[in-house]
A and B are shown apart, each in its own frame.
Chain A
Amino acid sequence: MIELRHLRKEYENATPLKDVNTVINDGDVISIIGPSGTGKSTLIRCINMLERPTGGQVIFDGEDITEPGYDLTKARQRMGMVFQSFNLFGHLTVIENLMQPQMDILKKSKSEAYETGVRLLKRVGMSGREFQYPDMLSGGQKQRVAIARTLAMDPDVILLDEPTSALDPTMVGEVQAVIKDLAKSGKTMMIVTHEMKFARAICNRVFYMDQGGIYEDGTPEQIFDDPKKELTRRFIMHLRVLELNVDGPDFDFIGAGTEIDRYCMQNTIPSRIQYRIRLAFEELMQQMLQPVLAETPVRVTVEYSEDEETAVMNATYGGERFDPAEGENSLSYQVLKKSVEELTYSYDPEGGEAEASDADTGSSNKFTNTVKVLIRE
């Protein structure tokens, strides 16, 4: 139904969409998730051309709507949009918000438009508010009216741009209920949202957006339960990651300690876990891995999962197989092993340049050794 080919959107100081390619099928209900600033809203605003893409094409039912001179009004009629900020017409009553577009664009008679309006207001639970003005409604009520207005045009596709983000938490539920009901109706939908549980409940497909495009595309089960890619996993698991590159024996360990403290503060990590993270870092780097550091840099990542309240520290390094358990400093190893949940070592001769690492490290170093420390309160 909708096909995106090499879609690109540049702003003066950012490029949220670098190269987006995908096909959206009839009846798909797609949740678009991802960290803020990764172009989720830009993507759906490009689909109905509220933002004109810098490059690429949007093919809607076989027609390229990005082509200059294409009559966008025809395509937009069939693609309803629900906005984060509702955008109800402030000068019209609720019922007129639903009636006027039908009369102006679909050329329906006033009575017909009125009937559709009343029916849809009932569907979103807003009967009895016909003659109020939008500024007399609560946020949740406004959004339900906005959804009804979109439905009044009987679109084939509905684009929802963070429909509950501007709402008071107490009102999120009522709007989500309406959207859930909508998702069952078989219309094609794309919804940008931060509510994972909600996204999972309504959709049959998820786009995880990051790094200028659709980073991972799959069913809700695939994305939420078993993400294939590192950034998706971090996002889904609510992982907060700290990366440190220890490049040699002269590394500023005091500075690194401060950095760990700051990281723990920012993510409200319990102090006992914080203490153990620091302990693990010191024991590993300043004791057990001293011989390694002399030869090759060690990359340390700390991941904290809010959901499970656990922290994982990974120290990876290249070079030959080196298990700290077998090293000289077995005292340190024993101390650490006692105070953490798990301390494991693995060796993978293939190694890997973990994808999370920025390209700027530039080293072709293979990280073959991995020491994993699991910390629980």
Chain B
Amino acid sequence: MISIKFHENQLKTNEKQSAWFEKPLRFPALILCVMLILLTFVSAGLGMQSYASEGGAGGDSDAAGKAVHEYSKLSDFDGKRIGVGTGMIQGPMVEEQIPTAELLYYNTVADMITALRQGRVDAIALPVMIIRFAQIDNEDLAWVEEGLNEPTETGAIFAKNAKGDALREEFNEFLAERIADGTMNELDEIWYGKDESRKVVGDPSDLPAEKGTLRVATDSSSPPAVYISHNNYVGIDMDLLYRFCEARGYGLEINDMIFSGIVDSVSSGKCDLGIGCIAKTEERMQSVNYSDTIYAGASVLGYLSSDSGAASGGSKAAGSSEADGSGGSFFGSLKESFEKTFIREDRWKLFMQGIGTTLLITALAILFGTLLGFCVFMVCRKGNRAANRITDFFVWLINGMPVVVLLMIFYYVVFGQLSVSGTAVSVIAFTLIFASAVYGMLVSSVGAVDRGQTEAAYALGYTDRNAFFRVVLPQALPLFMPAYKGQITALIKATAIVGYVAVQDLTKMGDIVRSRTYEAFFPLVAVAVIYFILAGILTFFVNRIELRVDPKRRPREDIMKGIDTKGADIK
């Protein structure tokens, strides 16, 4: 006679546990959301106020007492803070011309202008072309007539090999023709003009590509040379290059990266040429060859002045900007900011693309990293000396350096000569990073399962393999999952650096938008919120898996499934 009493309260306990388990997650999430929204409003409010006051200020100083500076020569900047671009040529110039100035380095022009607006720097050192272009949107931006240097020539750059030389010849020939027929002057008019409708470059996929496809390295956050508008690469250099490809029968593949990576990309052969306001310097000429001059201009110091016309030489006078128009009310500015960040030029599409890329890299790195980490663990599990040594070495190597350095080593050194896309390199690098984390977590969670469990399994007659999979692993997984979740959140955030290797992920897209709107807070807060949401979604899925792998949360029906309990015997 078989009799079993079902212990109902036990079943209830299990249910209660799972309900209890999810609840605390909701509450902090709610608090976080509220905090984020508050933060957004506060920062938006502050930002807007300063914009509004600057925009509405008269000639001398505004209500807040902010002084309006008038500079006319470089020596006026003695002891001031000057913003310069990382890897750009203005840094050394400022050091030489104004030795007392304090240099602050920024990655994008947008960051520099934001820093200037926020008063973090007193001036920014940029090529005059970039200042001129930025003036279209920032009427109060002016520059000092006295240049930091003699006008520098900019050109396209090519690899120092036969292929690069041939391409350079062809480009120079084309450039000469266009200078002769006045096209270059026309380009200048278009791109420094107010008429946005003229600032259009064709779609690279429409190019004939009869003679193959050119891989171009460029930085889309360097307007007016290259930038993104309506999800298309535009700008003077881009326009010129497009015309070149069109005329000479090339296709075009754009590798968008940070500016300081362009020269490396071309010299290492990852790209055929580089464009985007690349000034000629001795140092760069050691790595790459330059085309003839596309345009020349000095580097200058830009600063904010309420009266853009008076201080600057040759800047066009303009009417009231859009920002001034709706800057009056707080919600109006917020709406305006939102419109600028997401709606204008279909910028939301950039964010969507960025999200896609970030998710793709994260998801693949999680998938491959988990598999790789698990396989490595399986090989090392039995204590094979050589396998453990090799694994320890690689884990040490991978964990020993900053992720961004590892990523760049992969891109420029390991895969330097191979034509592997930045996305693929990112997936590989993050797979290794994630695998080493998974390996470490497996070692500790499997190690936390009592040795007696394995012994009991052996004593019953389990093989080593089955003892692991049937007895040890099911008990290790509930210990593994919480750490795993943390690693996934860490991973999605860590991918924010892939912009270094020409991948346009969410962060990079935020940078690109900032480079057009010259506005820091809205794109940044938007990017932060999106990261929260993405991490939340991933964590949600992992939570589901976590519930499934915990053997103690199985419903009893699963345990009894398929057993003929001879009904009557069970009470």
Q: Do A and B bind each other?
A: yes
| Complex-state Cα separation, A287 to B559, whole angstroms | 81
- When each residue 431-463 of chain B gets 1 if its CB lies under 8 Å from chain A and 0 otherwise, what string results? 000000000000000000010110111111111
A91 x B460 contact (CB < 8 A)? no
- Tell whether A132 pairs with B7 under 8 Å between CB atoms, given A91-B551, A111-B562: yes
B455 x A105 contact (CB < 8 A)? no
B455 x A50 contact (CB < 8 A)? yes
| In the assembled complex, A369 has its CB within 8 A of some CB on chain B | no
Q: Which of B2, B6, B452, B562 contacts A87 (CB 8 A)?
A: B452
Tally chain A residues at the interface, Cβ within 8 Å. 44
State which size class the interface on B falls in. Answer: 20 to 34
A92 x B551 contact (CB < 8 A)? yes
**Nearest chain B residue, comparing its CB with the CB of A97:** B456
B552 x A131 contact (CB < 8 A)? no
Number of A-B contacts (CB under 8 A): 92
B3 x A131 contact (CB < 8 A)? no
B559 x A93 contact (CB < 8 A)? yes
B563 x A110 contact (CB < 8 A)? yes
Q: Which of B450, B471, B562 has the most CB of A within 10 A?
A: B471
| In the assembled complex, A73 has its CB within 8 A of some CB on chain B | yes
Q: Please give the residue numbers on chain B whose beta carbons come within 8 Å of chain A beta carbons, in ascending order.
A: 2-7, 10, 450, 452-453, 455-463, 466, 470-471, 474-475, 478, 551-552, 556, 559, 562-565
Given contacts A89-B457, A101-B462, A136-B10, 4 further A-B pairs with CB under 8 A are: A50-B455, A81-B459, A83-B456, A153-B460
- B contact patch SS: helix
Chain A residues positioned under 8 Å from B457 (CB to CB): 89, 101
| Complex-state Cα separation, A77 to B463, whole angstroms | 11
Q: Which of A83, A105, A122, A149 contacts B462 (CB 8 A)?
A: A105
| Complex-state Cα separation, A149 to B462, whole angstroms | 14
Q: Which of B460, B478, B552 contacts A105 (CB 8 A)?
A: B460
B461 x A50 contact (CB < 8 A)? no
Give min CB distance, B391 to chain A, whole Å: 25
**Nearest chain B residue, comparing its CB with the CB of A77:** B461
A110 x B562 contact (CB < 8 A)? yes
For the complex of A and B, list the 9 residue pairs with the smallest distance between their C-beta atoms, beginning with the closest.
A77-B461, A87-B456, A81-B459, A87-B452, A91-B551, A101-B460, A76-B461, A73-B461, A91-B474
**Nearest chain B residue, comparing its CB with the CB of A118:** B2
B455 x A87 contact (CB < 8 A)? yes
Give min CB distance, B282 to chain A, whole Å: 66
Chain B residues positioned under 8 Å from A130 (CB to CB): 4
Give min CB distance, A41 to chain B, whole Å: 12
Q: Which of B452, B462, B564, B565 contacts A104 (CB 8 A)?
A: B462
| Complex-state Cα separation, A89 to B455, whole angstroms | 11
| Complex-state Cα separation, A131 to B7, whole angstroms | 8
| In the assembled complex, A39 has its CB within 8 A of some CB on chain B | no
Q: Which of B452, B456, B478, B565 contacts A114 (CB 8 A)?
A: B565
Q: From residue 352 to 370 of chain A, which have CB atoms closer than 8 A to chain B?
A: none
| Complex-state Cα separation, A271 to B551, whole angstroms | 60
A100 x B563 contact (CB < 8 A)? no
A73 x B452 contact (CB < 8 A)? no
Q: Which of A90, A115, A132 contacts B475 (CB 8 A)?
A: A90
**Nearest chain A residue, comparing its CB with the CB of B13:** A136
| In the assembled complex, A127 has its CB within 8 A of some CB on chain B | yes
| Complex-state Cα separation, A85 to B453, whole angstroms | 10
B452 x A128 contact (CB < 8 A)? no
**Nearest chain A residue, comparing its CB with the CB of B3:** A127
Give min CB distance, B561 to chain A, whole Å: 8
- When each residue 132-152 of chain A gets 1 if its CB lies under 8 Å from chain B and 0 otherwise, what string results? 110010000000001001100
